[in-house]
Amino acid sequence: MGLSSANTVVNEGFQFCIFDLRRGQHEGQELDKILFFYPADLPFSTQLSVIGLSEGLITFTRIFSPEAACEVIEAERHSHVFHQAEPDIWMVMVVEKSKESDAIWRIDALRRVLKEVHSLFVMFHGSIRSLLDKEPSGELVRSHLYAFIMDYLSAFQKRSPWDICCCDFLVGKKIKLPSFRDCLKERGTVQMLTVGREAALEVQSLVRVLESCAGNAPCYSLVLFQDLLVSTTLSPDDTINLFTYAVLRLAPNALLSRASSWSYLRKGNTASQIAAASVMASSGSVSEQFYGSRDTSPHGGERSHVVRPLQHNKWYKGTDGFLVTDIWGPEVGSMVSATPTVLLHQTEERMYLCVYQHKSLTLILLFPISSILNGEQGISVVKQQIVENASLKMLKVEEKLSKGWGGENAYHVGGYRYLLVDGDRNVSRASPPGKVTTLTKESLISLSNLREEIDLEKSRAKWDDPDHEKDLEICIRAKNNAWVIARTTRGKELYMVLEKANETLLFASDAIEKFSNRYCSGAFSLD
């Protein structure tokens, strides 16, 4: 989720660890189980204490709920948030509670951070277990996890004003967590651009042309305008992962503002790498030795090259319109940078990742490595085909989408501050962040607490009757007299704040009905 500057800031009272229950079970080998720990410069005794407590909580809760993995333990001073990323591989976030009113967060929002970290990591590097099987000492997976997560938590950069998807968390040495101010956002979903019929037909035509440029090789695509999804031919999980990465690092708002080229990238390596390396070195020599941050440069030399796809300012627009990067290092036996690759969740197939950009239009194209003859040379041929045969189509699509684009407040609805989530399609839409900031602190805290209650009800319903989704409606009058409302039905959720509503519940109910009928096709209407 996008994080504002006023979000919860956690310094010393925050730990984030990943460990493997199959490792370190013998005396003297306890460190083997630690795959990642933040802050890495904590004494190993402290790290083992945190992980040992987590193991104990996991084992204890299995006695009462053997079928349901532990999700959260609330202690007097800390919240322990769990995510079983893979069999016997756990991710745990420990957050210290505070009496400060700003230190209010939803547990589900924190768990979604853990899920996002793992999903993105697997997309680039494969599963944690596969890396452990490949190199059982753990040095390989530790070096990859350390570089990846530190880049994920890297220094905050100003995002698009309408970005409601994702952001960075680390500001200096302080972690910024999703707080009550993010209660009208939903991580793990995509935000769609609404297009008219004529524009939709143009996009479909463009997708067909792109597929034809690949010849006999399959071609998967995502089309984005600004930071919004227009079209996808991928599975829902793969769409979310690539959409998230695009908003973080590939979309126009995520790239450097100044014009760049491949020659500039080659010249700028030294300065950018010094800046990036400072993050990796911040945890001291102990972490470097144990977590194996062996090589952070794009050219590994004698040491293994750790691919760091979440580095800032490492993608640039080439002269042919395709984005280029040296993150994946040079092609074997060449000084030319290798084409990026990702692993699809649905097919578990490694794909070439090619990104084309024209103004506000971004095309993400994926081609199976096994289907491209001659590797890098074959990808160059496909790119040339796209430039020659699809350029005019792309210009036309960008022009049509730009004409229909209403700007950063395109989805603002006067009088409402809302979040609409379609869980079946993994799509969300919300009031623009600039409009949400007009809400009072009391309204946001009330909605955050309400969403926490909805999360608990959904969790209970999932285990009580997994085949039946429970419809819920809750309306609360906040201390500042605002109406805070939640409705869930048939996989869809609507959260709303009405600060200028009439005093009666009937007025608030009527306002929801009008919103539902006009913007949700009546999905939340009570008739």
- DSSP letter string over 412-443? --TT-EEEEEETTTTEEEE--HHHHTTS-HHH
- What single string gives the DSSP state of each residue in 270-313? HHHHHHHHHHHHTTHHHHHHHHT----SSS-TTSPP---TT-TT
What is the tally of structural domains in the chain?
3
**Whole-angstrom Cα distance, residue 66 to residue 304?**
41
Residues 441 and 469 grouped into a single domain: yes
Classify residue 63 as exposed, middle or buried by CB count within 10 Å of its CB (0-12, 13-18, 19+).
exposed
**Whole-angstrom Cα distance, residue 146 to residue 126?**
15
The strand order across the sheet containing 228-232 reads 228-232, 220-225, 361-368, 350-358, 341-343
Residues 111 and 226 grouped into a single domain: no
Q: Among 348, 376, 404, which residue terminates a domain?
A: 404
Q: What angle do CA 19, 291, 1 make, to 5 degrees?
A: 65
Contacts 24+ apart (CB under 8 A), 459-462: 459/71
Residues 342 and 454 grouped into a single domain: no
Residues 434 and 477 grouped into a single domain: yes
In a domain, 126, yes or no: yes
Question: Is the separation of the CB atoms in 199 and 397 below 8 Å?
Answer: yes
In a domain, 28, yes or no: yes
- pLDDT confidence bin for 4, thresholds 50/70/90: very low
Residues 434 and 339 grouped into a single domain: no
Residues 172 and 202 grouped into a single domain: no
**Whole-angstrom Cα distance, residue 455 to residue 108?**
7
How large is the average pLDDT for residues 76-97? 94
Q: Among 142, 177, 212, which residue terminates a domain?
A: 177
Backbone angles phi, psi at 361, to 5 degrees: -95, 130
Supply the CATH number for residue 377's domain: 3.30.450.30
Whether pLDDT at 261 is above 60: no
Determine the pLDDT at residue 410.
92
Residue type, 191: Q
In a domain, 324, yes or no: yes
Higher pLDDT residue, 417 or 14? 417
DSSP class of 181:
G
What pTM does this model have?
A: 0.88
H or E segment at 37? strand 34-38
> b vs e for 340-361, b when ≥16 Cβ sit within 10 Å of the residue's Cβ?
bbbbbbeeebebbbbbbbbebb
Quickly tell me which residue has 């996890």 as its tokens.
Answer: 145
109-149, pLDDT tens digit by residue? 999 999 999 999 999 999 999 999 999 999 999 999 999 99
Whether pLDDT at 104 is above 60: yes
- pLDDT confidence bin for 101, thresholds 50/70/90: low
Determine the pLDDT at residue 47.
94
Supply the CATH number for residue 49's domain: 3.30.450
Question: Is the separation of the CB atoms in 369 and 352 below 8 Å?
Answer: yes
Higher pLDDT residue, 186 or 269? 186
Range of the domain at 392: 195-258+311-404
Cα separations (Å) of 275 from 30, 184, 233, 286, 297?
34, 34, 37, 20, 11
In a domain, 183, yes or no: no
In a domain, 136, yes or no: yes
28-63, pLDDT tens digit by residue? 899 999 999 999 999 999 999 999 999 999 999 999
Rg of the chain over all Cα atoms, to the nearest angstrom: 24
**Whole-angstrom Cα distance, residue 113 to residue 93?**
10
Determine the pLDDT at residue 331.
79
Residues 142 and 233 grouped into a single domain: no
Neighbours of 277 (CB within 10 A): 13
Q: Among 360, 377, 404, which residue terminates a domain?
A: 404
Structure tokens at 512: 């929801």
264-319, pLDDT tens digit by residue? 334 444 333 433 344 444 444 455 566 665 444 444 443 468 999 999 889 999 99
Determine the pLDDT at residue 124.
98
Q: What angle do CA 444, 448, 454 make, to 5 degrees?
A: 145
How large is the average pLDDT for residues 509-524? 90
In a domain, 409, yes or no: no
Higher pLDDT residue, 491 or 36? 36
In a domain, 503, yes or no: yes
**Whole-angstrom Cα distance, residue 56 to residue 285?**
30
SS3 category, 485:
strand
Question: Is the separation of the CB atoms in 314 and 323 below 8 Å?
Answer: no
Whether pLDDT at 427 is above 90: yes
229-255, pLDDT tens digit by residue? 999 999 999 999 999 999 999 988 888
Residues 161 and 225 grouped into a single domain: no
Residues 213 and 319 grouped into a single domain: yes
Question: Is the separation of the CB atoms in 316 and 262 below 8 Å?
Answer: yes
447-468, pLDDT tens digit by residue? 999 999 999 988 887 766 666 6
Whether pLDDT at 88 is above 90: yes
Neighbours of 58 (CB within 10 A): 19
Whether pLDDT at 99 is above 90: no
Determine the pLDDT at residue 148.
95
Residues 37 and 161 grouped into a single domain: yes
Residues 450 and 484 grouped into a single domain: yes
In a domain, 286, yes or no: no
Question: Is the separation of the CB atoms in 495 and 451 below 8 Å?
Answer: yes
How large is the average pLDDT for residues 184-199? 95
Residues 36 and 147 grouped into a single domain: yes
- pLDDT confidence bin for 164, thresholds 50/70/90: very low
**Whole-angstrom Cα distance, residue 56 to residue 303?**
38
Chain mean position to CA 386? 29
